[in-house]
Structure 1
Amino acid sequence: MVLELLAGAYPESATGLKYRTPFELLVAAILSAQCTDKQVNKITGRLFEKYRTPQDFALLSVDELAGEIKGCGLYRNKSRHIVRTARTLLERYDGRLPESRPELESLPGVGRKTAGVVLGEAFGRDTMPVDTHVFRVARRIGLAAGKTPRQVEQELLACIPAGQRMAAHHRLISHGRRVCTARRPKCPECCLRELCLFPS
């Protein structure tokens, strides 16, 4: 019922990040932490015209890349992670992005959520990445009760059918951004208000 209502409200179910290759998606996903997709796309629109491959990014200094991505939060840390990741890809994987979760999560700045996004979007894996929006909305509407993103992910994997998980991920994010916001959720506008556990 919840998935059908979300599908009706958000028929589109794709990432808002713009990318052409799995590596570009990884860079965009790293940049997206505590930054809007709109701002990331503004930065990567310019960035990916100059630098597109791990080889390109590996040649940059951390300060050079920091200057290019200054418009997003935590840009110095993100710059360090991206440059180190590019160099690691060249050293360990011949410049290719690995397609396994443990290998992706071993890259600097890549956690479980970012690895899940890359696996699901770029490689078509059946993942259920849990960001702050997915975590909040899933708990409010009763899809999950876990207290950590990992617990919520496991609960969502158990209740969302295979093949529908990335679409559900995107729809939960859309709902969290547009309606079920962290502060002052728009409960009267919510397509799930009859099912919601959150006191409005």
Structure 2
Amino acid sequence: MVRVLVVHDAGLLRSALVELLRTDPALEVTSTTPSDCLRRTGRHSTPGTGDPSVDVRVVDGDCMASCDRCEAVPGAQGGPPGRDPGLVVLATPEQPGLLRRALDAGALGLVDKNASRRHLITAVHAVAKGERHLDASLAFALLDATAPPLTHRELRVVTLAGQGAPMDEIAALLHLSRGTVRNYMASAIRKVGARNRMDAIRIVRDAGWA
């Protein structure tokens, strides 16, 4: 029996994924939200200290694309009990940056959201055995995956702004002056070719860089 944990923000979609996976009698499926998963594992979990009750985590890529939530699902390399659970990420070809982040987080399985139910179940079984699974439609997108043109600090400023934090709060969180934060935002807007701050936030999110 393969023990699977579905991680998703939206309750309806989370339930749908659970029911889909439960059509395979060889899968024992539970679910949680990214925040609950973070509380269970700890933000600073390290390889080898993952949840021993789970073999594979199935995570929607959009959960990884906000609030650095990829930290809620520690990277995994599969393998015997005692290691972190294997990681399967659901994504689309339109977000090559997100695909790259998923790989950097240790994902062994990348499944196209538009693929059939069988693709996801096959990926779960492969990852449970420590094998890789990559849908062909996502393989081509990965060829286009590039590092974001922003520095870490610029990306952090845009990410926090996208979460609704005002400039004063961003400055306090990053221990910077308000003027420095403004400069980082202006630089980010210029580098991604955005019209304004909101456009920069949209571009960064759509690319899966944050």
TM-score scaled by structure 1?
0.26
Q: Is the helix fraction higher in 1 or 2?
A: 1
User: Higher relative contact order by CA 8 Å / sep ≥ 6: 1 or 2?
Assistant: 1
